[in-house]
Amino acid sequence: MCATPESSLGSIAGASYQFYPPGTVIPEIIQGFEFDDVDGQEVLGPNEDNSEQVATATTNDVVSGTITGTSAAVKIVQSPDFDYFFDIPKPLPVQVTVNVTRHLASGDVTEDVTFSASLDSATESDDGAVIDPVNYFTFQLSSINSPVEIPAGSTINNTIFTLTENKGNISGPYFAAIEGDELWVHLQAQLGKREGADFLLEYWAVNDNNDRISPTYSYSSYVFNASDSRADYIYGTFKFTPQYGKARYAFQLRKTNNSSDSNLLQIAEAHSVTRRQNVTYPNDTLVKVTVRATEQATGSRDRKYNALVTRHTISYDINTRTFDYTLRPSRSFADAVAHEWLVIGKQPADTIDLYELYSIYQSLPDPRLGYFDYTFDDEDVSLGNRIETICNAARVIAYWDDGVLTFARDERKEYPSAVFNRANIVADEYKISYDMTMPGGYDGVEIEYVSPRTNKKTYIRYRITDTGIVEQSALSPLKISLSGCRNEYQARDRALLEVNRLISSRMKMNMKTLADGEYVSPGEMIVVADTYDTNQQAGYIVARNGNNFDTSEQINFAGDMYVRVTDSIGNSTDKIRAYPRTDTKFGFTAAVPNITLNIFDGYNVQSPSRYVIATTAEMEAMRWRVSDKKPNSDGTFSLTCDEYFDAKLDYNV
């Protein structure tokens, strides 16, 4: 796979970074939260005034109206046509039409008058009736600008009231999603030489309904191109610290000089900003990355930075069986499991078998097989999934055993964990299946890991052919992603394990066992005598005299036969050469070590030691790997098993 290496920040002009270890006092953190609805809006000039209507509503059910100077209040019978103006965030520039009786020196004049105003608020009320009340809207207006004089004492008549919102040349209002102490507005202007874009910016605090709760603050300024020789893009960031204090703010912008091809103004972005002083994080490491922005970038890039760091974890001393909660750098999957379970997950220490976990880690032939380099940055990933991901990188499976999380590595086993025959198997779920082709229809494997050189996804591929295993892409590969694997040694070991499993493990078995099934776990190797195969003979030990064993079943010898015997706690011996006895067919002779046997007497011993006896080929066929175990309500256990094969400890060797 070809991949482009990442660039170091140190090699990029103007870029830098700084780490803040846990407990470091950071003098100031400036946290900015973008306005969701601001993204390069153009601000129209007065010569581009747009009178297109956005919304309008009219009614003849006017209850009352008062007008004083540049303010007015109009009460109407509630109408759904006015719901838009009731719900919209305010203040809102509107056009108003009312019927007014103006008291002039020449006499009273009654006529419809249309004027511009600011709709500041709207309230609901009713007439107080208990049954079928009449509901009202009352609209408060300010900043009235009328084309005709409306003297003091003029009367608003109960004949017509119209509200209209025009698009106009005001951009906004825009509303912050997050509270902040400051408001930053970023403008950009396309300007000819010696040209400037003048603007008026108004801002105010709002509540959860986006209604104004503070005075409106105004700010007039400009963006200017001082060049005498060329047009240019000019940028300006305008920062405001409102007297009202920390709040959600809204703003709107109006261009106050005319626009042209050489005089265009845009709102690039806006931020609600909070400054935090003397900040410290006792348990976290922070990094500040500074990069130089690119003007007129020709491509779109994600701002994504990767830090190559080593996880700091707790550990466990397998010799003293004690925890070490001192945080130290570690790439060990065992340390990662312990830290995730005990520190992050806050689980009790007696719910995890750390002795078995660290025994597996110490038994690895190469430490690279036990590396885990990964960060869980999604808090929604469950604790169980995290443990599974960590263990998967090291060929380890995690499973529950009597309320304790324990572990087993997928590798060859010296001895079987248990022996099963018809004496401790329930017949109704016994089933063996065989894949005539590769399991799942796969003809190879594809392992995905992350290359430490490129920090990109990298693949190791093997294909099964008539001549054997070759390193090339398969047509239908078994795909496995090794999250947390950043070394080829570990990934290649897993790839060779899986491709050999496709060849060597094609049989599956399901069976239900009696209470003996409680003592086996996923990942362990067991021996099962096939009830329907006469070449696989099994039973239990009746007596022992030296190397002579009496058995419950008659044994038929054919060729070189080998036997396995379980001791008093169910552990099995290795396979041992067995010979026929001359005095009886119910027995055999074998140099079995001096183990403690369970001899059935019906009182003190009711679970006798068992044996299985077969030829070497048949003995190999009796070995299975437990892949799943489920307890049943009747005290039995359902086991799912794969055909066992001797998986190497390290396929790189």
DSSP string, 367-422: GGGGB-------TTS-HHHHHHHHHHTTTEEEEEETTEEEEEESS--SS-S-EE-T
With respect to residue 540, please indicate whether it lies within any of the assigned structural domains: yes
Q: Domain span at residue 15?
A: 9-24+281-290
How does strand 477-481 pair with strand 444-450? parallel
Q: Which domain-ending residue is among 128, 163, 198?
A: 163
In 3D space, the residue among 549, 34, 552, 42 whose CA is nearest the CA of residue 266 turns out to be 42
Q: Which domain-ending residue is among 474, 505, 536?
A: 505
For residues 534 and 639, membership in a common domain is answered with yes
Structure confidence by residue, pLDDT tens digits, 198-229: 899 999 999 998 888 999 999 999 999 888 88
Among all chains, which residue has been given the structure tokens 């032939």? 365
For residues 174 and 230, membership in a common domain is answered with yes
Among all chains, which residue has been given the structure tokens 């490491």? 285
The answer, yes or no, to whether residue 299 has pLDDT greater than 60, is no
The answer, yes or no, to whether residue 590 has pLDDT greater than 80, is yes
Across the range 231-245, mean pLDDT stands at 93
Q: Which domain-ending residue is among 460, 476, 505?
A: 505
Confidence of residue 3 (pLDDT cuts 50, 70, 90): very low
| pLDDT above 90 as % of the chain | 52
Confidence of residue 624 (pLDDT cuts 50, 70, 90): very high
Both tokens assigned to 407 = 């572990």
Confidence of residue 167 (pLDDT cuts 50, 70, 90): low
Structure confidence by residue, pLDDT tens digits, 517-562: 888 889 899 988 876 666 778 888 999 999 999 999 899 898 889 9
Q: What long-range pairs does 134-139 form, CB within 8 A, spacing at least 24?
A: 134/77, 134/78, 135/77, 135/78, 136/63, 136/75, 136/76, 136/77, 136/78, 137/75, 137/76, 137/78, 137/79, 137/82, 137/86, 138/73, 138/74, 138/75, 138/76, 139/73, 139/74, 139/76, 139/85, 139/163
Quick one: pLDDT at residue 302? 63
With respect to residue 50, please indicate whether it lies within any of the assigned structural domains: no
With respect to residue 154, please indicate whether it lies within any of the assigned structural domains: yes
Across the range 232-248, mean pLDDT stands at 93
With respect to residue 53, please indicate whether it lies within any of the assigned structural domains: no
Both tokens assigned to 558 = 């054919």
For residues 358 and 443, membership in a common domain is answered with no
Structure confidence by residue, pLDDT tens digits, 470-491: 999 999 999 999 998 999 999 9
Taking the CB of residue 101, how many other CB atoms lie within 10 A of it? 13
Chain-centre distance for alpha carbon 555: 60
For residues 492 and 473, membership in a common domain is answered with yes
For residues 174 and 267, membership in a common domain is answered with yes
With respect to residue 2, please indicate whether it lies within any of the assigned structural domains: no
Distance CA 205, CA 142 (A): 18
For residues 245 and 371, membership in a common domain is answered with no
The whole-chain average pLDDT of the chain stands at: 88
Domain CATH number, residue 365: 3.55.50
Quick one: pLDDT at residue 646? 87
Quick one: pLDDT at residue 614? 87
Distance CA 406, CA 399 (A): 6
Quick one: pLDDT at residue 147? 85
Asked if 282 and 303 touch (Cβ cutoff 8 Å), the reply is no
Asked if 486 and 444 touch (Cβ cutoff 8 Å), the reply is no
For residues 596 and 477, membership in a common domain is answered with no
Distance CA 401, CA 636 (A): 15
Asked if 409 and 399 touch (Cβ cutoff 8 Å), the reply is no
With respect to residue 90, please indicate whether it lies within any of the assigned structural domains: yes
For residues 477 and 493, membership in a common domain is answered with yes
The answer, yes or no, to whether residue 313 has pLDDT greater than 80, is yes
User: Lowest mean pLDDT: which of 138-142, 196-200, 492-496, 649-653?
Assistant: 649-653
Structure confidence by residue, pLDDT tens digits, 19-45: 898 899 999 999 999 998 898 888 887
Quick one: pLDDT at residue 464? 92
Quick one: pLDDT at residue 187? 94
With respect to residue 3, please indicate whether it lies within any of the assigned structural domains: no
Both tokens assigned to 379 = 């808090």
User: Lowest mean pLDDT: which of 314-323, 368-377, 601-610?
Assistant: 601-610
All residues at 6 or more sequence positions from 517 whose CB lies less than 8 Å from its CB, including other chains? 629, 636, 637, 638, 639
With respect to residue 149, please indicate whether it lies within any of the assigned structural domains: yes
Domain CATH number, residue 253: 2.60.40
Asked if 512 and 634 touch (Cβ cutoff 8 Å), the reply is no
Structure confidence by residue, pLDDT tens digits, 424-462: 888 788 888 888 777 778 899 999 999 888 788 999 999
For residues 71 and 149, membership in a common domain is answered with yes
Structure confidence by residue, pLDDT tens digits, 505-517: 888 999 999 888 8
Q: Which residues pair with 273 in a beta bridge?
A: 32, 182
Structural domains counted in the chain: 6
For residues 224 and 137, membership in a common domain is answered with no
Q: Which one has a higher pLDDT value, 348 or 6?
A: 348
Structure confidence by residue, pLDDT tens digits, 68-119: 888 999 999 999 999 999 988 777 778 899 999 988 888 889 999 998 888 8
- Whole-prediction pTM: 0.60
The answer, yes or no, to whether residue 50 has pLDDT greater than 70, is no
Quick one: pLDDT at residue 81? 94
